[in-house]
Amino acid sequence: MKFTVAIDGPAAAGKGTISRAVAAKFGFAYLDTGSLYRAVGVKALEVGRGVIDPVIAAQLAGSLSQTDLDRGDLRTAMAGQAASKVAAIPEVRAALLEFQKTYARRDGGAVLDGRDIGTVICPEAEVKIYVTASDEIRAERRHKELVQAKPELTVAQVLNDLRARDDRDAARDIAPMKPADDALVLDTSDMDIAEAIKQALTLVRSVYDGT
Task: Provide the binding-site residues for ligand C5P, judged by CB under 6 A.
Answer: 11, 33-34, 37-38, 80, 83-84, 87, 114-117, 165, 169
Distance between CA atoms of residues 121 and 200, nearest Å: 20
- Between the CA atoms of 183, 188, 189 and 192, what dihedral angle is there, to the nearest 10 degrees? 170
User: Considering beta carbons, is residue 83 or 129 the nearer one to ligand C5P?
Assistant: 83
Concatenated DSSP letters for 139-191? HHHHHHHHTTT-TT--HHHHHHHHHHHHHHHHH-SSS-S---TTPEEEE-TT-
User: Considering beta carbons, is residue 97 or 205 the nearer one to ligand C5P?
Assistant: 97
Q: Least distance from C-beta 149 to ligand C5P, angstroms?
A: 16
Q: Least distance from C-beta 96 to ligand C5P, angstroms?
A: 8
Q: Least distance from C-beta 125 to ligand C5P, angstroms?
A: 13
Distance between CA atoms of residues 23 and 33, nearest Å: 14
Q: Least distance from C-beta 80 to ligand C5P, angstroms?
A: 5
Q: Least distance from C-beta 129 to ligand C5P, angstroms?
A: 14
User: Considering beta carbons, is residue 3 or 35 the nearer one to ligand C5P?
Assistant: 35
Distance between CA atoms of residues 8 and 132, nearest Å: 9
User: Considering beta carbons, is residue 147 or 174 the nearer one to ligand C5P?
Assistant: 174
Q: Least distance from C-beta 131 to ligand C5P, angstroms?
A: 11
What is the maximum alpha-carbon separation in the chain?
Answer: 51
**Beta carbons within 10 angstroms of residue 106's beta carbon:** 15
User: Considering beta carbons, is residue 89 or 197 the nearer one to ligand C5P?
Assistant: 89
Q: Are strands 127-132 and 184-187 parallel, antiparallel or unpaired?
A: parallel
Q: Cα separations (Å) of 127 from 130, 188, 203?
A: 10, 18, 8
User: Considering beta carbons, is residue 157 or 205 the nearer one to ligand C5P?
Assistant: 157
